[in-house]
Every structure is written in structure tokens, then in C-alpha cells.
Amino acid sequence: MLDLKHKIETNPLFKQAFTLSHGGHRADYERLEFLGDRVLGLCIAEMLYRRFPQEQEGALAHRFTDLVREETLAIVARQLDISRFLITKENSLRHNDSILADVCEALIGAVFLNDGFEAARTLITQNWQSIMLSYRQAPKDPKSALQEWTQKHFGQLPVYKLIGRSGPDHAPVFHVEVRAKGHCRVGQGSSKKTAEQAAAKLLWEEFTA
């Protein structure tokens, strides 16, 4: 188990991974996040390839998307208690899923650079394996599920529209509307993509209730 407090206090890479932006400057963690995202993707792809040898590429892709999405990264970040160690003057950011997901990837990047690929893979396996195994069948993200449902029942695709944005630049909240056959729901999230997923989930739940 990583001793994050010790790592951050003694290793500049880990301090960089946990330092958020201030005053409009770029966050220190962003380059490490870029690297960690790629390491995570490779490790998750390998885990899925080995664990589900009978599944086709499409099913593996659904599993992959679910395991590397922002919501899953935020879950892992909370498992690791990342919010406790963030270096920031704005405590509200400690509860922002987008920030937690980004720093989680930055942590993976720091582990990869400092301790090597095997250490990064161990960290990922320990924290993602139980989530991966919780699905007996490949999960479908809300947008895919809604699209399949509306095509089957209405013969048309749902339409998404960005209707607003609120919050400060460093922690924006996007508001997206989805419409299908006269039905409409609005979702919000820390990115346009997550807001679309939230809206799709609400509308899909309405149709299938």
C-alpha cells in the first residue's frame, strides 16, 4: 500500500502529482496526468484481454470505457483517500470528481516514472480488479444504452445540446439536454461528456421504468 503522505513529502514527482492550480496557472499535475492516462489504458486493456478470453472486441471496449471513465477514476481516488493529500487552498476542489480523477491518473504517472511499470501495474490491478469483476456482462454506458433503446423503439437517435455552463474556470459545471421523441431530461457534470452521460442515464431510466 502506498504511503502517500511520505511520498508527497519526500518526492518531488508525487508532490507535483497532487498540486492543483492557483490563480489561473496550469496545474502541476497535468503532464503526469497525460502520462498516467496512457499507462492506465494499457494496463486495463491487458487485464481485460487476459480475464475475458472469450469476449469479442466490442464487449471488451464497453468494459474498457467503463473502467477508465471519470466516475470510475473518482471511485478509485476515494479508495486511495487522494482528496486528503491534495495540495490546494480551495477545499471545495477536494470533492470535485473531475479533479480527483485527474490526480488519480497523475499518481499513476508518478508511480510509473519513479518506480517503474510493474509498480504502476500493481497499483492499477489492486484498485481496479474488483470493479472489473463486478460486471458479469460487459456494461454499456448510458449514452450507448439510450441510443440502442431509442433506435429500437422510436427509430431515431437522441439529440444532445449544451444548454449552459456554471462554476469557476478551474471547476466548471456543464448542463446538457437530451431529447428523444418529445421527451427531455437535463444532466450536469464536470465535463460536457459526463453531463451527456448523466442526461442519458436520466432519460433511459425514464423510458425503462
**Catalytic residue selected from 105, 141, 177, 196:** 105
105 labelled catalytic: yes
Q: Which of 37, 66, 97, 196 is catalytic?
A: 37
Q: Which CATH class is domain 142-208?
A: alpha beta
Q: What is the distance, to the nearest Å, from the Cα of residue 25 to the centroid of all Cα atoms in its chain?
A: 23
What is residue 86's three-state secondary structure? coil
pLDDT at 24: 44
User: CATH for 4-133?
Assistant: 1.10.1520.10
User: Residue-wise pLDDT tens for the chain (209 aa)?
Assistant: 678 999 999 999 999 999 987 544 456 788 999 999 999 999 999 999 999 999 898 889 888 988 998 889 999 999 999 999 999 888 888 888 889 999 999 999 999 999 999 999 999 999 999 999 987 766 677 888 888 889 889 999 999 999 999 888 777 889 999 999 999 999 998 888 889 989 998 998 888 87
pLDDT of residue 26: 55
DSSP 45-81: HHHHHHH-TT--HHHHHHHHHHHHSHHHHHHHHHHTT
Quote the pLDDT of residue 49: 96
Instruction: Tell me what pLDDT residue 11 has.
Output: 94
Per-residue model confidence (pLDDT) at position 193: 87
User: Residue 138: its pLDDT value, please?
Assistant: 66
Contact 183, 206 (CB under 8 A): yes
- Break the chain into its structural domains and give their ranges: 4-133, 142-208
Instruction: Count Cα neighbours of 22 within 13 Å in the Cβ-side half-sphere.
Output: 8
Q: Tell me what pLDDT residue 122 has.
A: 97
Residue closest to 199 by CA, chosen among 188, 190, 191, 208? 188
Give yes or no: 37 in active site: yes
Residue 180, SS3 per DSSP: strand
